[in-house]
Chains A and B, each alone.
Chain A
Amino acid sequence: MAGISSFGAYVPRYRLGAETDGWNSPQERSVANFDEDSVTMAVAAGIDCLRGQDRQSVDGIIFATTTTPYAEKQCAAIIATALDLRRDIFAADTTDVLRAGTTAMMSALNSVMAGSASNVLVIASDNRQGAPRGDTERNLGDGAVAFLVSDSGVIAELTGSYSITENLMDSWRSTGDSFVRTWEDRFATEEGLDRILGDALSGYFSKYGIEAKDVAKVAFYAPDGRRHGQLTRKAGFTTEQVQDPLFGKLGNTGAAFSLMLLASALESATPGQLLLTVSYGDGSDVLGFRTTDAVSNRTPRMGVSGYLNTKSQLDSYETFAGWREVWATDGARRPDPNSPSVTALWRESDKNLRLYGATCNNCGYVQYPAQRVCVNCQSKDDATPTRFSDRKGTVFTYSMDYLAATTDKPLVITMIDFEGGGRMLCMMTDRELEEVRVDMPIEMSFRKLRVVNGIHNYYWKAVPQRAMV
C-alpha cells in the first residue's frame, strides 16, 4: 500500500484584496511577506504536516517549486534541516515546471512502492510573480503544501496515475526573468489547457475504466477562475465534484496549486472517496487517491482552510511592491551588511536552522542557544539538544525600532519566553503593530533574513499565533 499518511499546508497571513489601497481587483489573493520565499513557506507547510508525526521516521524529502532561491544549491537540504529530519535521508529539488508538485508526488510514491523508503515528505511551494498590475499578478497566489507519503497508515491510497509530456510554451520565465511571460491567451487555452488536460483526464479514465461520475472530488489546475470553470465543465464534472479552486481567496499557487486543492479536499473527505489531482505544465499528471477509514481521524492541523481563515488585508499595493522589490526604496542610513561567514553558518546549523537549544542533564535548566557550561548549575558539556521551532511562547518584552534597516518598519524586536523554558531574542514578523504587547502568544516561523553575497540567510522569527482549526 502506498498513499498519503499526513498532510499540511501554509498560506501567508497577508492578502491583497478589497481593503488594499491601489489593488485593482475585488478578488483576494495571498501574498508572501517580504521575508518569505518558497523555502520558508515549505518549512511552514512541513511543520503543519508533521504535527504529531515522528520526524525521525522520514526517509526522504522532495521539494517542488518554480521559484527556487538558488540556481546551484539544494533547497531540500535547507528544508530538511529546518524540519529537523534525519541526516541519512535522500533529498531532491524538483523545479522549473508548474507540475513539479505532482512530479515530486509521483517520485515519492514510486520510492515507497518500490520499497526503498517508508516515509517520504513531499513539499510543493511557490511564490511566482506577475508583472505589476497585470492579469497574471492578479490571479497568482503564494502558498505551500506538504504530504507525507507512506507505505502504511495512509488516509488516502494511491489508485493510479496518468501522465502526458508535451513541450509547449504558454507561460515561462528565463533565467533572470522576474515576471512570468505568457503567450496569447486563446492559443494557450485551446491548444494548451483544454486539449492537454482533456487528454490527460480521458487517458486516466480509460486506463482505469472509470468515468467522471466515479470521482468524488477533482483538484484541478487552472490559471484563473474563469478558465477553471470552463475546463471542469467541459470535462464533465458537476459543481459538487469540483474542489473549490479558491480563486478570490488564495490565487494560483503554481507548482503547489493542484496539490493544495487536494489537501483542501482531504480536509473534509469521508472514507472511500476517489480524489483526483490534475496538474499542468509541459503536459499534465493525473493522480488518483481513494480515502481510507483513517481519513476521518482528523489530527489537529492548520491546513489550507486554517491558514486561509487567519488573514490580514495588506494596507496598500505600495507595500506589496516594496516587498517584491518592484521599486527600490530609500534605505536606512546604515552600513551595507557583510557576507555571512559560511563557516559560521555551518557550525551553527543546529542552533540557527534546527533551532536547537539545550536542556541541562544535571539541573534541567532549558536554555537557548545551547551552552557548553550550564547557565544555572555550571556543569560542563552535559546537556540534551532541545528543539524550539515547534514550541509556543509569549512576549516577555519588546521594542519597535523606527530606524532599523528593514522592510517592515518599525522593526519589532522581542524577547520570547518559550513554554517549558528557554528565552530568545528575535524579530517579530507578520505583525500588526496594535496587536504587539507583553504576554502576547507567539509561535516560531522560518524566515529569510537577507541575501548577501548570494547567500540566502534563513533563521527563525516570532509570529503572532494563528488559530488552529
Chain B
Amino acid sequence: MSGIRDRVAIIGMGCTKFGERWDASSSDLMVEASYEAFNDAGIEGKDVQAAWLGTVGSFRTGQPLAEALKLDYIPISRVENACATATDAFRNACYAVAAGIYDIVLALGVEKLKDSGFSGLAIPEAPGSDVAPPAPPPSQFAMAATRYFHQYGIPYDDGKLTLAQIASKNHHNGTLSPKAHFQREVSTEQIINAPMVAWPLGLFDCCGVSDGAAAAIITTPEIAKTFRDDYILVKGLGLAVGAFGTLRNDWDFTHFPETVRAAQATYQEAGITNPREELDMAMVHDCFTITELIIYEDLGISPRGRASEDVEAGTFSLEGDLPVNTDGGLKCFGHPIGASGIRMIYEVYKQLQGKAEGRQLKDPTLGLTHNLGGRPGSFTCSVAIFGTRD
C-alpha cells in the first residue's frame, strides 16, 4: 500500500456564502461554488473529466450536477456518508486521480436544508417500525456531555463554561469570515444562559443549520505545477465507520473510537507522529461544543479528560499553539451537511496559501480536517491532512 500522500493536488476551490440562502436553490449553490473553483484553477467546466457530488438529502443522483453545470456526459457519482459526505466525495475523487484514471476532476458538496420549513434537520427516513426513540443529534450528543461531566467529575457549571469557551472562540472566528452564516461575537455568559435545546446543551452549543456548497478541483502534482505554484497537496485520507458503541456496555460515551481510528490511519499515511506539535491548524466537526471537546482528545491533541485545560489556556484560538476552526467552524460558518467537509478543506487551502484575510495564521504548512457523521456509538469519521508543496 503506497497511500495517497503527495499523489494528488488541489488547484482550485470554491465555497458559497453559507446561511439561510432563501434566494438560492441547490442548483444555484452548485453553480456558485463550482465557478469560483473553476476560476480559481483557471479551468472551464468542459475540462472536468469526472465528478463526485456529495449531498445527504438534496439530491439522489449525480444528474443535477450535470444539469446545473452542463457537464459533457462525464461520469458523476453521488456520494452520501452522513456528515462525512463531502470529504468522502473528495476522497473518492482523489483516488480516481491517484489511480491514473483521470487528470482533472471535480468534488462538490451541497446541501439545501432551509426549504423544509422546520428548524433543525428534517430529512425523511425509509419506512420502518418507527419505535426508535426520537433522539435527534442535539439529544444524542447531549448524552455524551452528561457522561463526560460524570466520568471526569466535572461540576455542571464548570463543564458549561468550558463548552461556552469553545462556542465563544468559534463565534469570534466567524466574525472574521465573510462567508460564515453567523458573524457576531457571543460572550460565555450569553452562551451559558441561552435556552436549553437538549440539556445540558443550550442554543449556542449547537451548530448552525445552513444552506451552502463547496467545490474542489483535483489533479496530479505534475499537472498542478502547470496551473499554479501554490497548489495544495493531499497528505492523508482516512475513513473509519463504526456502529457498535450502543451494543456494548463497556463503551464509555466519552471517546469516539471512529475518530481515533481514522486519525491513526491518516497520521500514519501523512507521516505524522506528534499531531499536536506538527499540525499548524485543524478544522474539526464541532456540530456541538461537546463534540469539539472530545475531538481534541480523540485526535491525540489533548490528554484524556483534560481538554478543558487546553481550552482554558487558549490553545485552540487563532493566536494559540494549534488553532481550531479558524473560519468559525460548523458552529458559525454553518453546517449544510453534505457541503461541510469540502468547506473545511477550503479553509485549510486558503490558510496554506496565505489567503485567509483577517483570520490568516502565520505561515501554516500542514492542516487537518475532520468530519463525524452519525451519533455517539455509531459514526462515520473522515480525517484528511493537507500540506503546502515541498
A interface residues (Cβ-Cβ under 8 A, vs B): 333-335, 337-341, 344-345, 347-348, 352, 367-368, 371, 375-376, 396-406, 410-411, 413, 415, 417, 421-423, 425-427, 438, 449, 452, 457, 459
Across the interface, do A397 and B246 meet the contact criterion of CB distance under 8 Å? no
**What B residues does A371 contact at CB under 8 A?**
247
- Answer whether A396 and B199 are a contact pair too, CB < 8 Å, given A341-B127, A423-B246: no
CB distance from B197 to the nearest CB of A (A): 6
B118 touches A421 (CB 8 A): no
CB distance from A340 to the nearest CB of B (A): 4
Q: Mark B124-165, 1 if CB is under 8 A from A, else 0.
A: 100111111111101110111111001000000000000000
Q: Is the CB of A401 within 8 A of B129?
A: no
Is the beta-carbon distance between B143 and A352 smaller than 8 angstroms? no
The reply to whether B133 and A425 form a contact with Cβ atoms under 8 Å apart is: yes
Task: Indicate which residue in A340, A375, A426 contacts B244 across the interface (CB closer than 8 Å).
Answer: A375
A396 → chain B closest CB, angstroms: 7
- Of all chain B residues, the one with the shortest Cβ separation from A374 is B247
B119 interface residue, CB < 8 Å from A?
Answer: yes
Nearest neighbor of B201 in chain A, beta-carbon distance: A399
- 18 CB contacts below 8 A, A to B, read A335-B118, A338-B124, A338-B130, A341-B130, A376-B248, A399-B201, A400-B198, A400-B199, A401-B134, A403-B120, A403-B198, A404-B134, A404-B136, A415-B246, A425-B135, A425-B246, A452-B130, A457-B130
Complex: chain A residue closest to B118, CB-CB: A333
B163 to chain A, nearest CB (A): 14
| Residue on B nearest A341 in the bound complex, by CB | B127
Please provide the 6 A-B residue pairs with the shortest distance between their CB atoms, ordered closest to farther.
A399-B142, A397-B147, A400-B199, A340-B130, A341-B127, A459-B131
Residues of A within 8 A of B134 (CB): 401, 404-406, 411, 427
Asked if A352 contacts B147 (CB within 8 A), the reply is no
The answer to whether B313 has its CB under 8 Å from any CB of chain A is: no
Taking A334-B118, A375-B248, A401-B136 as contacts, is the C-beta distance between A340 and B143 under 8 angstroms?
no
Chain B residue nearest to A417 in the complex (CB): B249
Among B116, B118, B129, B140, contact of A340 (Cβ-Cβ < 8 Å): B129
A396's contact among B120, B130, B145, B147, by CB below 8 Å, is which?
A: B147
The one of B119, B129, B135, B139 in contact with A345, judged by C-beta atoms closer than 8 angstroms, is B129
Asked if B99 lies at the interface with its beta carbon under 8 angstroms from chain A, I say no
Instruction: With A375-B244, A401-B139 as known contacts, state yes or no: A348 contacts B199, CB within 8 Å.
Output: no
Interface residue B196 (Cβ < 8 Å from any Cβ of A): yes
Are the CB atoms of B129 and A341 closer together than 8 Å?
Answer: yes
Asked if B122 is at the interface (CB within 8 A of a chain A CB), the reply is: yes
Residue of A nearest to B132 (CB): A425
Residues of A within 8 A of B140 (CB): 399, 413
CA distance A427 to B136 in the complex (A): 12
**Which residues of the partner chain A approach B195 to less than 8 Å between Cβ atoms?**
402
Nearest B residue (CB) for A345: B129
Q: Are B249 and A397 in contact (CB under 8 A)?
A: no
Establish whether residues B127 and A427, one from each chain, have CB atoms under 8 Å apart when the complex forms: no
Q: In the complex, A423→B128 CA distance in Å?
A: 21
Determine whether the beta carbon of A438 is less than 8 Å from that of B146. yes
Is B253 positioned at the interface, with any CB of A under 8 Å from its CB? Answer: yes
CA of A352 to CA of B133 in the docked complex: distance in angstroms? 12
Q: Is the CB of B127 within 8 A of A344?
A: yes
A399→B199 contact, CB < 8 A: yes
Given A398-B146, A422-B249: A341 in contact with B128 (beta carbons within 8 A): yes
User: Complex Cα distance A65/B130, Å?
Assistant: 27
By beta carbon, the residue of chain A nearest B199 is A400
Interface centre among A348, A398, A406, A417 (most CB of B within 10 A): A398
* Assembly CA distance A289 to B75 (angstroms): 81
Within 8 A of A (CB), among B154-204: 195-201
Contacting residue for B147 out of A344, A402, A413, A438, CB 8 A: A438
A333 touches B119 (CB 8 A): yes
* Contacts A399-B199, A403-B136 supplied; 9 other A-B pairs, CB < 8 Å: A338-B130, A352-B131, A399-B146, A399-B201, A403-B138, A413-B143, A422-B249, A423-B247, A449-B130
Residue numbers in B under 8 Å from A426 (CB-CB)? 133
For residue B139, which residues in chain A have a CB less than 8 angstroms away from its CB?
A: 399, 401, 404, 411, 413
Question: Which one, A410, A413, A415, A425, contacts B196 given CB within 8 A?
Answer: A410
Contact A423 B144 (CB under 8 A): no
Q: Which of B127, B129, B197, B198 contacts A348, CB < 8 Å?
A: B129
In whole Å, how far is A190's beta carbon from the nearest beta carbon of chain B?
50
Cβ of B136: which chain A residues have Cβ within 8 Å of it? 401, 403-404
Q: How far is the CB of A67 from chain B (nearest CB, A)?
A: 23
Tell me whether A335 and B122 are in contact (CB under 8 A): yes
Partner of A344 from B120, B128, B143 at Cβ < 8 Å? B128
Contacts of A396 in B (CB 8 A): 147, 249, 253
Q: Are A402 and B199 touching (Cβ within 8 A)?
A: yes
Shortest C-beta distance, A34 to chain B (Å), equals 15
> Which chain B positions have C-beta within 8 A of A427?
133-134
Task: Point out which of A352, A396, A397, A426 has the most chain B C-beta atoms below 10 A from its C-beta.
Answer: A397
| Shortest beta-carbon distance from B145 to chain A in Å | 8
Q: Could you tell me the distance between the alpha carbons of A333 and B127 in the complex, rounded to whole angstroms? A: 21
B24-41 vs A, CB cutoff 8 Å, 1 = contact: the mask equals: 000000000000000000
Picked from A335, A422, A449, the residue with its CB within 8 Å of the CB of B131 is: A449
Q: Which B residue's beta carbon lies closest to that of A340?
A: B130
Minimum distance in angstroms from A306 CB to a CB of chain B:
28
Which residues of B lie under 8 Å from residue A347 when comparing CB positions? 129
Q: Collect the chain A residues with CB atoms within 8 Å of residue B135's CB.
A: 399, 401, 413, 425
CA distance A402 to B199 in the complex (A): 8
User: A347 vs B150: C-alpha distance in the bound complex, in angstroms?
Assistant: 38
**Interface pair A338/B127, CB less than 8 Å apart:** yes
Which B residues are in CB contact (< 8 Å) with A337?
130
Which of A339, A396, A406 has the most chain B CB atoms closer than 10 A to its own CB?
A: A396
List chain B residues, Cβ under 8 A from A449.
130-131
B377 to chain A, nearest CB (A): 8
Tell whether, in the assembled complex, residue A398 and residue B249 are in contact, meaning their CB atoms are under 8 Å apart.
Answer: no
Query: Which chain B residues border A345 with CB–CB below 8 Å?
Result: 129
Chain B residues whose CB sits within 8 angstroms of the CB of A403 once the complex forms: 119-120, 136, 138, 197-198
Which residues on the B side are within 8 Å of A399 (C-beta)? 135, 138-140, 142-143, 145-146, 198-201
A443 to B146, CA, bound (A): 21
Q: How far is the CB of A372 from chain B (nearest CB, A)?
A: 12
Bound complex: CA A63 to CA B136 (Å): 37
B231-244 contact mask (Cβ, 8 Å, vs A): 1 or 0 = 00000000000001
Contacting pair B143 A398 (CB below 8 A): yes
Q: Are A400 and B129 in contact (CB under 8 A)?
A: no
Tell me the bound Cα distance from A404 to B196 in angstroms: 12
Whether the Cβ atoms of B247 and A375 lie closer than 8 Å is: yes
Closest CB in chain A relative to B90 CB, distance in Å:
31
State A413–B133 Cα separation when bound (angstroms): 8
Q: In the complex, which residue of chain A has the Cβ closest to the Cβ of B147?
A: A397
Q: Which residue in chain A gives the minimum CB-CB distance to B116?
A: A335
Q: What chain A residues lie within 8 Å of B129 (beta carbons)?
A: 340-341, 344-345, 347-348, 352, 457
Q: Shortest beta-carbon distance, A78 to chain B, in Å? A: 13
CB distance from A130 to the nearest CB of B (A): 32
- CB-CB under 8 A from A404, the residues of chain B are 134, 136, 139
Q: What's the nearest-Cβ distance from chain A to residue B56, in Å?
A: 16
Residues of B within 8 A of A397 (CB): 143-144, 146-147, 150, 253
Q: Which residues of B contact A340 (CB under 8 A)?
A: 127-131
Residues of B within 8 A of A405 (CB): 134
